[in-house]
Structure 1
């Protein structure tokens, strides 16, 4: 697999972008067809997923090593942030707050409070963030979101490290297929 990553890093980046778009489409399906309303932390995870999709899509657009590595770093940061939010939501689901309040919705927090106050409110979570409305193989949406974000981060980190070291091809012969 590492040889394939060395030979076609742009394809790997495009595949990550496509996976993010598929996850976003599935999230929209769960919201609009199944009827699950996203909590504030779910919305933040969606924005992180959009960031990963855009950054990896841009990274795959050009063959310049500096170009795809720069956008790859931004995708890695967005993926790490998404993993952090998903881990926090998973923790809230395992250890729900003693007082389960629904709280304000994401946009209500952003519109009515200064950002310095709204961000802590989002990460404090609410009863909505601790609720588990859907599971797959025993994991909630937040659990699977965490697994996907970590998977993206591992692949991106491997691509970036191998890009810096030149992979198996040496520092000057890195293929950009």
Structure 2
């Protein structure tokens, strides 16, 4: 049985929605505040989910599907970079961890958006704190999901069409 691109896009969009729902559960019911890199990773999941939802609804031909898969791949690679950066920060010795910055809401209120985004991508000392979900560091879960999205995108880009 061959699974169509529309189904794959729908499943990936649903998977991204599940990742976002899990993140909101962790924040609101487990009481873990998201760090700036976690928030950026959420944006990446939302972007992948949106691209896949559009691909599912649009159901383009071969060239169009490759375009959606290419966008998904680029966004997933950005997510891989963000998750990898957070894992690197978590691996630093305590004396090398960057200082904690002001809260995200304060920064959004007081600083230009470009400075806020740069700070979020670089991460802060908050990002170096290891938080576990089901016994695994949260950025590891994100990294695995982003790698899975990238693999699906590559498969969709290069699979042979009937």
TM category (shorter chain) comes to: 0.7 to 0.9
Q: How does 1:120-131 map to 2 (within 5 A)?
A: 120-131=118-129
1:96 Cα deviation after fit: 4.8
Whether 2:146 is the aligned partner of 1:145: answer no
TM-score by length of 1: 0.80
1:125 Cα deviation after fit: 1.8
1:116 Cα deviation after fit: 4.0
2:33 to 13, 34, 37: 37
8 Å CA contact 2:65, 2:156 repeated in 1: no
CA distance in 2, matches of 1:59, 1:20: 14
- Structure 1 residues 120 and 28, CA, compared in 2 at 3 Å: closer, same or farther? same
1:120 Cα deviation after fit: 3.1
1:100 Cα deviation after fit: 5.3
- Structure 1 residues 41 and 96, CA, compared in 2 at 3 Å: closer, same or farther? farther
CA distance in 1, matches of 2:70, 2:106: 32
Q: How does 1:13-162 map to 2 (within 5 A)?
A: 13-65=9-61, 66-96=63-93, 98=95, 101-137=99-135, 139-162=136-159
CA distance in 2, matches of 1:123, 1:83: 12
8 Å CA contact 1:73, 1:160 repeated in 2: yes
1:81 Cα deviation after fit: 0.9
CA distance in 1, matches of 2:25, 2:133: 15
- Structure 1 residues 157 and 37, CA, compared in 2 at 3 Å: closer, same or farther? same
1:11 Cα deviation after fit: 0.8
8 Å CA contact 1:86, 1:142 repeated in 2: yes
Structure whose CA Rg is larger? 1
Unaligned 5+ runs, structure 1: none
CA distance in 2, matches of 1:68, 1:103: 41
RMSD value, Cα = 2.0
